[in-house]
Structure 1
């Protein structure tokens, strides 16, 4: 059904506005005859329909890429320089990658070791984490704790807690989170109490508003320079994209 819808849209696009005008001027008999001719032609030449579908899909893909680039440009300051999101990797890296992350998201966890491998292998990538809890209370609690960690214990403390939350398998209760932070050498109780700081919820709210403007509805979502990647991307794919971005800059 989806490809049929593409086909109908494609034949409409290829027909163009002039044909649409002519169709409105046809009599019912002429319109029926025209439709019969089109149907007969497509039945005799089904490859034309497939070609039309491919053309439409390429156009839509190109439009989506252009739309993503425009959204990134329009929201660049909040994406890359909001002043509060955690920055990992090389702060002066020539490639910046933003990740909208939810700690309870299975694909975020799957991507986590691959992002670390990318950063460590490359050495010249700046990573910005956007706390983007969308999977319920546990997600929100985890993000609140991570943000509070940054406010209380700084960037280094956030990095430790971020990694630990990615590996956490149990429910993120107060006892679990406080103990986890204490085991990392941080003051878990101070971090927990710091979650009441209005800035914590403000940061999450700002990230959600940014996500709405960027048409982000799931995690992980990555912004790599002027490209948006929705969903999990394996390490090999990230390496290829980084290489292409660098080549484009050099060109």
Structure 2
């Protein structure tokens, strides 16, 4: 909250408290002496009841949150095709599921890693969730190296290889140069040759660029960011909350 908003909230509230009758209250019509007396009364009231300031701030924050939710819902509707059916993002879980969960993630994001096992539990336990991964590297070169390797793996070797490598990268903390990522693939019994051959293909960078362009339209600037059918949730979401959101989506 800005400093101006902090002061505006209690003053607006105080104006309402002392406006009796409200329709007849006009600060601009006061004389200097009347205005000074009013300010003194407002200050005295707030000093005696400082909790009013916190109540006003809470109301303002709740109002801002409601506006953010409404704006996010509108963005999800506007860009639904690109979010849920871009033609290239990996689709896991149940492809025919009745609820779709989309995650914008970065392999080097601590909260993405924290959410990883919980998302996996959600999808596996539910059995009727369509899960989509949006490769959204934003935390530097190591993030980009990992995403490019994963995208190249999917393009060159298919969804099963991508899923295996994706899961490994979510826990991987080593170097992300080509020799290191090649060893990671080999440790998973994945043939790295097709991946390395695809790595410099323009289609690899094109996928990541399109996801970044979509994120910009959705005003997504952090990971993880989730979309649950009709609603966007920014930041880490624990398993029980995800379950509740999925249930709400099913109920309509």
What is the TM-score of this pair, normalised by structure 1? 0.88
Residue 116 of structure 1 corresponds to 120
Instruction: For 2:144 and 2:204, locate their aligned partners in 1 and report how far apart those are by CA, in whole Å.
Output: 11
| Maintained 8 Å contact 1:153/1:186 | no
Q: Are positions 1:240 and 2:244 aligned together? A: yes
* Residues 71 and 22 (structure 1), Cα distance of their counterparts in 2 relative to 1, 3 Å cut: same
| CA displacement, residues 196-217 of structure 1 (integer Å, 9 cap, x when unaligned) | 1111111111111111121111
| CA displacement, residues 90-144 of structure 1 (integer Å, 9 cap, x when unaligned) | 1111111110111111111111111111111110111110000011111001101
- Give 3-state SS (helix, strand or coil) of 2:26's partner: helix
Aligned pair count? 245
- Give 3-state SS (helix, strand or coil) of 2:82's partner: helix
Of 201, 218, 231, the match for 2:235: 231
* Residues 65 and 200 (structure 1), Cα distance of their counterparts in 2 relative to 1, 3 Å cut: same
What is the TM-score of this pair, normalised by structure 2? 0.88
- Structure 1: runs of 5+ lacking an equivalent: none
Of 133, 136, 141, the match for 2:137: 133
Q: Are positions 1:62 and 2:66 aligned together? A: yes
Q: Are positions 1:183 and 2:182 aligned together? A: no
Correspondences of 1:39-58 after superposition (within 5 Å): 39-58=43-62
Higher mean displacement: 56-65 or 140-149: 56-65
| Maintained 8 Å contact 1:3/1:53 | no
Shift of 1:57: 2.0
Q: Are positions 1:166 and 2:184 aligned together? A: no
Residue 222 of structure 1 corresponds to 226
Higher mean displacement: 76-85 or 190-199: 190-199
* Residues 48 and 126 (structure 1), Cα distance of their counterparts in 2 relative to 1, 3 Å cut: same
Instruction: For 1:12 and 1:193, locate their aligned partners in 2 and report how far apart those are by CA, in whole Å.
Output: 65
